[in-house]
């Protein structure tokens, strides 16, 4: 709680100066000026009495319409302040929080008539992950001249808004190595058409839906895409936590990167795949079935700050050298056209290292987006390891299209 007494010495100094001037004028000129001087002596007392009366009769009530807001929801805030005395109130100043820290404080100044109440309402929206504070920061009752004020004990509420946990309709292409299928007891599971492995010649009993039509047009020979099951030895998710250049979309892009990483982790954990998540210098290892560790990681995402100056490729290579990452597939979730990431994706294969990149294009320029789309087209026949989306919801939609049967 802040100090219960607030003072404005400057205003008191102005009063003291005015009182001195009137006194000196009354001494030399006499008459009405001395009457004014003695009247001015009683003014602070009257002001202070009204301050005490207002403070004793002031009541307030706060209401919050949502106890646990999720991302995208809102908190309705209602503040009612009432003067329960038969006298007009002294000046009142109230400041209250209205959301994230960068939104600052809303300050209101008002006076109430006898038995009057004032109602203040706010709708605090929670479009991004983070910590939202709603409610009174301070309420002070001032004397009529604003020299001294008495603070009223107040409170506020803090809401933690976490990123969503989206359900992915399938895995990403380029995942599921032959090594993993051979080692895993789940290798006999149903083939996942999103897990591209290689191309081979068409046989009469093959499903025509898996023919690589673009390849047929270029080489004149029907080729069929082969797929693995969802069995995986491990997966590493590298998040790009460098600052987003466009401040206007920074929060939305940061949330997109985090929600994609969370969705990937949940998807593979549900399929008994160990997951390592690289967030800057830290590596979070989550084993299948460890719901507590996943919940702990999900809770910590509201304190992930995008302040890194290092490419996620360098961080990945560093942790690989330190042997803190298991062998397996790596997915880079980024918001930039990082040359290191793109080079690693281009040279990835099933026998050495499988790499994929998901790029949140929300902050890319038109030129950068065109370059990314061109590279994506060139990689598509290799399994589509480069995915361009505008948000985590865009990734869900993209994977839904992959899962949909084609004629």
What does the pLDDT look like over 177-226, one tens digit per residue? 333 323 333 333 344 444 555 677 767 766 666 676 666 566 677 777 66
Residue 272, pLDDT score: 87
Superfamily per CATH, domain 5-161 = Immunoglobulins (2.60.40.10)
The single-letter DSSP state of residue 249 is: G
Beta strands per DSSP E along 259-370: 275-279, 282-286, 329-334, 355-360
Give DSSP secondary structure letters for 136-191.
Answer: EEEEEEEPTTSSEEEEEP--EEEEEEPPP-PPPSS--TT---HHHHHH-GGGGSPP
- Look at residue 176 and tell me whether its pLDDT is greater than 90: no
Radius of gyration of the chain (CA): 33
Residue 297, pLDDT score: 96
Domain residue ranges of the chain, discontinuous segments joined by +: 5-161, 178-403
CA atoms of 319 and 123, how far apart (whole Å): 44
230 contacts: CB under 8 Å, gap ≥ 6: 171, 175, 176, 186, 189, 192, 195, 271, 273
Give the other-Cβ count within 10 Å of 48's Cβ.
16
Look at the pTM and tell me if it is higher than 0.85.
Answer: no
- Look at residue 7 and tell me whether its pLDDT is greater than 50: yes
What does the pLDDT look like over 384-396, one tens digit per residue? 578 999 999 999 9
| 25 pLDDT tier (thresholds 50, 70, 90) | confident
DSSP H helical ranges for 229-311: 250-269, 291-300
Angle between helices 339-346 and 312-321 (to 10 degrees): 60
Highest mean pLDDT among 36-50, 322-336, 354-368: 354-368
Residue 186, pLDDT score: 34
Give the other-Cβ count within 10 Å of 18's Cβ.
11
Residue 281, pLDDT score: 83
Residue 172, pLDDT score: 65
In this structure, what token pair is assigned to residue 356?
Answer: 């994929």
CA atoms of 196 and 313, how far apart (whole Å): 23
The single-letter DSSP state of residue 243 is: P
Looking at the domain that runs over 178-403, which CATH code has it been given? Answer: 3.40.50
Only one residue has tokens 């307030």, namely 60
What's the mean pLDDT when you consider all of the chain? 83
Only one residue has tokens 């895409």, namely 225
CA atoms of 298 and 74, how far apart (whole Å): 21
- Look at residue 265 and tell me whether its pLDDT is greater than 50: yes
CA atoms of 136 and 151, how far apart (whole Å): 12
Distance of CA 373 to the CA centre of its chain: 27
Contact 144, 47 (CB under 8 A): yes
Strand partners, 152: 139
Contact 108, 80 (CB under 8 A): no
CA atoms of 1 and 18, how far apart (whole Å): 35
Residue 156, pLDDT score: 96
The dihedral over CA atoms of 143, 145, 147, 149, expressed in degrees to the nearest 10, equals 20
What does the pLDDT look like over 77-123, one tens digit per residue? 999 999 999 999 999 999 999 999 888 899 999 999 999 999 999 99
125 half-sphere exposure, CB direction, 13 A CA radius = 3
Residue 352, pLDDT score: 63
Integer angstrom CA distances of residue 337 from 311, 319, 334, 372: 11, 22, 8, 7
- Look at residue 12 and tell me whether its pLDDT is greater than 50: yes
Residue 187, pLDDT score: 31
The closest of 174, 214, 193, 197 to 386, measured between CA atoms, is: 174
Strand partners, 328: none
Distance of CA 153 to the CA centre of its chain: 31
Contact 48, 7 (CB under 8 A): no
In percent, the amount of the chain with pLDDT more than 70 equals: 82
């Amino acid at each position: 709680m802040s100090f219960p007494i607030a003072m404005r010495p400057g205003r008191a100094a102005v009063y003291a100066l005015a009182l001195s001037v009137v006194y000196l004028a009354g001494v030399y000129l006499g008459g009405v000026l001395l009457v004014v001087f003695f009247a001015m002596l009683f003014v602070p007392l009257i002001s202070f009495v009204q301050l005490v009366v207002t403070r004793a009769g002031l009541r307030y009530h706060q209401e919050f319409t949502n106890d646990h807001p999720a991302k995208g929801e809102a908190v309705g805030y209602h503040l009612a302040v009432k003067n329960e005395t038969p006298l007009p109130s002294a000046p009142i100043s109230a400041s209250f929080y209205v959301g994230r820290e960068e939104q600052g404080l809303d300050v209101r100044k008002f006076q109430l008539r006898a038995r009057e109440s004032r109602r203040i309402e706010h709708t605090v929206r929670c479009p991004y992950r983070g910590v939202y504070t709603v409610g009174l920061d301070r309420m002070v009752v001032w004397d009529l001249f604003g020299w001294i004020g008495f603070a009223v004990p107040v409170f506020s509420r803090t809401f933690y808004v976490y990123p969503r946990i989206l359900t992915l309709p399938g895995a990403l292409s380029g995942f599921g190595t032959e090594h993993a299928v051979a080692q895993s007891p789940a290798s006999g599971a149903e083939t996942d058409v999103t897990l591209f492995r290689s191309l081979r010649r068409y046989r009469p009993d093959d499903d025509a839906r898996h023919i690589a039509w673009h390849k047929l047009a270029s080489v004149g020979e029907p080729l069929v895409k082969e797929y693995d099951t969802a069995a995986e030895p491990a997966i590493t998710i590298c998040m790009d936590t460098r600052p987003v250049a466009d401040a206007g979309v920074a929060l939305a892009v940061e949330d997109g990167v985090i929600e994609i990483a969370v969705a990937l982790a949940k998807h593979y954990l549900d399929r008994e795949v160990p997951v390592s998540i690289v967030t800057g210098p830290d590596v979070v290892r989550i084993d299948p079935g460890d719901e507590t560790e996943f919940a702990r990681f999900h809770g910590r995402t509201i304190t992930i700050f995008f302040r890194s100056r290092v490419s996620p490729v360098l961080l990945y290579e560093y942790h690989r050298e330190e042997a803190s990452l298991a062998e397996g597939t790596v997915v880079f979730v980024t918001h930039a056209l990082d040359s290191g990431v793109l080079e690693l994706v281009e040279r990835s294969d099933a026998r050495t290292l499988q790499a994929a990149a998901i790029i949140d294009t929300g902050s890319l320029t038109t030129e950068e987006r065109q370059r990314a789309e061109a590279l994506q087209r060139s990689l598509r026949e290799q399994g589509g390891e480069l995915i361009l989306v505008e948000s985590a919801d865009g990734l869900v939609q993209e994977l839904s299209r992959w899962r949909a049967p084609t004629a």
